[in-house]
Amino acid sequence: MSNSVKQSDVESIDGIIAATYDVISGPAGKKRDWDRERSLFVPGARLIPTATVPGKTDVDLAPLILDVEGYIARVEPLFEKEGFYESEIARRVEQFGRIAHVWSTYESRHDPSEPEPFMRGINSIQLFNDGKRWWILSIYWQHEAKQHPLPEQYLR
């Protein structure tokens, strides 16, 4: 593991989920620890926002499939301009043996002192334990919208 990796980031489901939110959060212009981010994901992992499809009238949303480097390239310019703090507000975990699925409900703020988030949503996170540590295989997420409010069962 590189110097950016803490064993506590990957030794438990709690640790890897906390690290996932921590590494992307910070003030505008603060360089994120992308080596730490990379260390959380198995080679070939995917980060998949459910995004609006430009120029389409028949499709509201579609998955945008990124690898870790594609995700970094997508968010780095945004983090340069604005603060971004994301925190988990609820979690559901299903685990069997070495695999786990985490439904992680989040809130996003430009500054942690803001009373209301500018965005909320749900991360669907697939994890694998190789016997030594947890790895993220994929994170697939959708933000809340008027037509897609967060269901009550994902808020507790």
pTM for the model stands at: 0.92
Note whether residue 1 is domain-resident. Answer: no
Q: What's the structural domain count of the chain?
A: 1
Note whether residue 2 is domain-resident. Answer: no
| Range(s) of the domain holding residue 147 | 7-154
Print pLDDT tens along the chain (156 aa). 445 568 999 999 999 999 999 999 999 999 999 999 999 999 999 999 998 766 654 556 889 999 999 999 999 999 999 999 999 999 999 999 999 999 999 999 999 999 999 999 999 999 999 999 999 999 999 999 888 899 999 998
Cite the DSSP H helix spans in 12-94: 13-24, 34-40, 68-81
Residue 27 belongs to a domain with what CATH number? Answer: 3.10.450.50
Q: Report phi then psi at 41, rounded to 5.
A: -105, 140
Picking from 127, 148, 142, the residue whose alpha carbon sits closest to that of residue 16 is: 127
- Residue 139: what residue type? I
Q: Are 131 and 39 in contact (CB under 8 A)?
A: no
Buried b (16+ CB within 10 A) or exposed e, 26-47: beeeeebbbebbbbbbbeebbb
Q: Which residues contact 58 (CB under 8 A, 6 or more apart)?
A: none
Note whether residue 104 is domain-resident. Answer: yes
Q: Are 90 and 113 in contact (CB under 8 A)?
A: no
Note whether residue 131 is domain-resident. Answer: yes
Note whether residue 95 is domain-resident. Answer: yes
- pLDDT of amino acid 2: 47
- pLDDT of amino acid 26: 98
Distance (Å, whole) CA 108 – CA 26: 11
